[in-house]
Amino acid sequence: MPKGQRINFSSKLAVVAAAAGSAVGLGNIWRFPYELGQYGGAAFLIIYLVFVVLIGMPVMLSEFVIGRMGQSDAVGSFKKLAPKGKWWLIGVMGVLTSFLIMGFYAVVAGWTLEYIYQAVANQFVNKDTATLTQVFVDFCTDTWRPLIWLFVFMIISAIIIMLGVKDGIEKSTKFLMPLLFIIIVALGIRAVTLPGGVAGLKFLFQPDFSKITSGVILSAMGQAFFSLSLGMGCMITYGSYISKKNHLSHTVVEVSLMDTLIAVLAAVAIFPAVFSLGINPGYGPELVFITLPNVFAQMPGGYVWSILFFILLCVAALTSAISLMEVVVAYLVEEIKIKRLTATIWVTIIILFLGVLASLSFGVWKEVKIFNMGFFDLFDNVTSKVLMPIGGLMISVFTGWVLSRKQIRDEISTHGRFPTKYYNAYIFLVRYITPIGILFVILNQLGLGRWLGLS
Ligand code: TRP
């Protein structure tokens, strides 16, 4: 490879697969359905879709523009584009955020491995909801078992990261993404045809707007952030691997559509079944791990479906975890000049350390509280409620107000090669709508929303 030329994803499909692999994860399949269940179904879905378009897509395009223009990692790209400013601190914050997200994300990903094991060992049959709840509680409050799965998950992620962008990320996502899609469509078809499943579809697609409060609106926006992997340099890092021949805005539309489609399909696979079996849709974060084994246990062919489902969940978590780790590894390799192998090992060790803290906060360290939260909740809350919204806000301000319009137009159109039909709309969004919208989230999360009379 000639000096100065960056490794690129080899084809358009690979770009979309890798970015969609990052976006589609536990956020879509574990978090989205339970939020939807808690916040009343269809109305939440509609608001979520509005945020994907008005905030998610502009921020994703901004991250791609910064990464591909800067041709560097999340910190290096800002240094190149604004050498005099302190904007690179956004990248540093992203690296930190990445560790913290992985600290709890890897724990939940480890749970998916336990549930693949339980599914294969046929442990869901003949158990009622109470028993399955107990099984889950016993498992996640145990000391060693979740830690072992956390360790296994991190080793798999580390191996893929070590192989590098082309061999690791590309090959794995190109193979894993279509597989994921096929399995979830099959699951959805099965769920919809269950007796009484139509009630679940009604819940999903017949909006009841009386359920919308400002709290619901703000949760939907937070979920859009998390699900699309935005606000901490993940898409900046992947953007730097996108070739100049690629049409950035098309990639944004494709990735956002795919991410949203998978989230909706996951909900279609879950809610008809939940309603068919008379389970409370507002169950919460346990929904996947407690309710679904129950669903599978009572459904024909449940043994095979349960194995497929938890493999699917684990695969989705894996491709997202890889993207989170790549933010840090790319930074260490390019800015601190550490070898990729060494960087991967250190990153894995630090995440394991944070993961142990998060995992034990369900069991033996339940009483250890910082800001009144256990480590798991702390990592989750600090990242999604503070760091990611601030990152997204800064990223949109940077593209909207610091980069010149000509720079952005040249990057999006690859110097006039592609049409820039929606360019003006994008600039308007990223200058005004997106930053103001995000500010709204941050204020609410600081509790100022109530003070200002917003919630
Ligand atoms: N989007 C992923 C999911 O839905 C998680 C994820 C990967 C992420 N990279 C990220 C979240 C960057 C925030 C920022 O599960």
Determine whether the shortest distance from the Cβ of 323 to ligand 1 is under 6 A: yes
Residue 405: closest CA among 389, 387, 428: 428
Whole-angstrom distance, CA of residue 298 vs CA of residue 280 = 16
Q: How far is CA 207 from CA 39, 53, 242, 268, in A?
A: 11, 19, 39, 15
Determine whether the shortest distance from the Cβ of 26 to ligand 1 is under 6 A: yes
Per cent of the chain over pLDDT 70 is 93
- Residue ranges of alpha helices (H) inside 121-213 are 129-141, 144-162, 164, 171-192, 198-205
pLDDT at 116: 97
**What is the band of 450 on the pLDDT scale with cuts at 50, 70, 90?**
low
Q: Are 140 and 180 in contact (CB under 8 A)?
A: no
- Which residues does 144 contact at the CB level (< 8 Å), separation at least 6? none
The mean per-residue pLDDT over the stretch 163-185 comes to 75
pLDDT at residue 417 greater than cutoff 90:
no
pLDDT at 451: 60
Cα 331 to averaged position of ligand 1 atoms, centre (Å)? 18
Determine whether the shortest distance from the Cβ of 103 to ligand 1 is under 6 A: no
Cα 417 to averaged position of ligand 1 atoms, centre (Å)? 31
Measuring from atom 9 of ligand 1, which residue has the nearest CA?
229
Determine whether the shortest distance from the Cβ of 226 to ligand 1 is under 6 A: yes
Measuring from atom 6 of ligand 1, which residue has the nearest CA?
229
Q: Convert the pLDDT of each residue in 188-215 to its tens digit.
A: 887 888 888 889 999 999 998 888 776 7
**What is the band of 165 on the pLDDT scale with cuts at 50, 70, 90?**
low
Cα 157 to averaged position of ligand 1 atoms, centre (Å)? 15
Determine whether the shortest distance from the Cβ of 324 to ligand 1 is under 6 A: yes
Determine whether the shortest distance from the Cβ of 219 to ligand 1 is under 6 A: no
The best mutation among 234, 238, 262 to test binding of ligand 1, ranked by most ligand atoms within 8 Å of the C-beta, falls on: 234
pLDDT at 445: 61
Q: Are 13 and 178 in contact (CB under 8 A)?
A: no
HSE-up (13 A, CA, CB side) for residue 17: 22
Task: Among 7-21, 218-232, 281-295, name the most confident range.
Answer: 218-232
Residue 356: closest CA among 146, 155, 158, 153: 146
Tell the CATH topology of 12-445: Hydantoin permease (1.10.4160)
**What is the band of 46 on the pLDDT scale with cuts at 50, 70, 90?**
very high
Determine whether the shortest distance from the Cβ of 27 to ligand 1 is under 6 A: yes
Determine whether the shortest distance from the Cβ of 237 to ligand 1 is under 6 A: no
Q: Convert the pLDDT of each residue in 351-410 to its tens digit.
A: 999 999 999 999 999 999 998 899 998 998 788 777 888 999 999 999 999 999 999 999
Whether the full predicted model's pTM is greater than 0.85, yes or no, is yes
Whole-angstrom distance, CA of residue 139 vs CA of residue 144 = 9
- 373 DSSP 8-state letter: B
Determine whether the shortest distance from the Cβ of 61 to ligand 1 is under 6 A: no
pLDDT at residue 446 greater than cutoff 70:
no
pLDDT at 3: 46
Determine whether the shortest distance from the Cβ of 22 to ligand 1 is under 6 A: yes
Measuring from atom 14 of ligand 1, which residue has the nearest CA?
229
DSSP-assigned beta bridge partners for residue 370: 373
Q: Convert the pLDDT of each residue in 134-153 to its tens digit.
A: 999 999 999 999 999 999 99
Q: At what angle do helices 74-81 and 88-120 cross, to 10 degrees?
A: 160
Structure tokens at 119: 């599914």
Cα 385 to averaged position of ligand 1 atoms, centre (Å)? 14
Q: Convert the pLDDT of each residue in 240-257 to its tens digit.
A: 989 888 899 999 999 999
Residue 174: closest CA among 14, 36, 359: 14
Q: Which residue has the higher pLDDT, 305 or 12?
A: 305
Q: Provide the greatest CA pair distance for the chain.
A: 65
Please give the mean pLDDT across all residues of the chain. Answer: 88
Q: Are 396 and 430 in contact (CB under 8 A)?
A: yes
Determine whether the shortest distance from the Cβ of 238 to ligand 1 is under 6 A: no
pLDDT at 356: 98
Q: Convert the pLDDT of each residue in 106-129 to its tens digit.
A: 999 999 999 999 999 999 988 887
The best mutation among 34, 226, 312, 382 to test binding of ligand 1, ranked by most ligand atoms within 8 Å of the C-beta, falls on: 226
Q: Where are the domains of the chain?
A: 12-445
Q: Which atom of ligand 1 is nearest to the CA of 26?
A: 15
Measuring from atom 12 of ligand 1, which residue has the nearest CA?
229
pLDDT at residue 455 greater than cutoff 50:
no
Cα 252 to averaged position of ligand 1 atoms, centre (Å)? 15
